[in-house]
Amino acid sequence: MVLVAVRFALATLLLAPLLRRVTRRELGAGIVLGAAYSLWLYRRVIFGALTKADLMNILDLSPREVAIFAPLVIVTLWIGIDPQPFFNVFHASVMQLIHQHQLALASSPRSIMLAAK
């Protein structure tokens, strides 16, 4: 029964944008709530109720893991909030690649034959 409810909720979240125009705020809230629900459900299914005292003392992340993970989270959020500095780094090489691609298309035998017709 719970599986049916979960499938219905996921189908509703996935199909709702198709039924009407959804604002970015609503879409973002749906993504965040969907992720939170998925994590909560995963924790319940995998770990269940913590009944053993040994399991209650285990840390989720050690300080070393937090030190490694924190910069990755910060950079990921930075890219999500303001991606333009990262786009600027790749702009020149991407423009050169596009230029080379257009030259290759223009000099291909097929495009020469089409231009002759």
Q: Do 34 and 87 fall within a single domain?
A: no
Of 58, 75, 97, at which residue does a domain stop?
58
Q: Do 71 and 54 fall within a single domain?
A: no
Q: Do 52 and 66 fall within a single domain?
A: no
pLDDT value for 114: 60
Give the global pTM.
0.41
Q: Do 111 and 77 fall within a single domain?
A: yes
Cβ-proximal residues to 34 (8 Å cutoff; 6+ apart), any chain: 10, 13
Question: Which domain does 37 fall in, by range?
Answer: 1-58
Q: Secondary structure of 4-56 in the HEC alphabet?
A: HHHHHHHHHHHHHHHHCCCCHHHHHHHHHHHHHHHHHHHHHHHCCCCCCHHHH
Tokens matching residue 71: 């910069």
Query: Block means of pLDDT (10 residues each) for the chain, length 117 residues?
Result: 61 63 79 89 78 76 90 93 90 92 82 59
Number of domains in the chain: 2
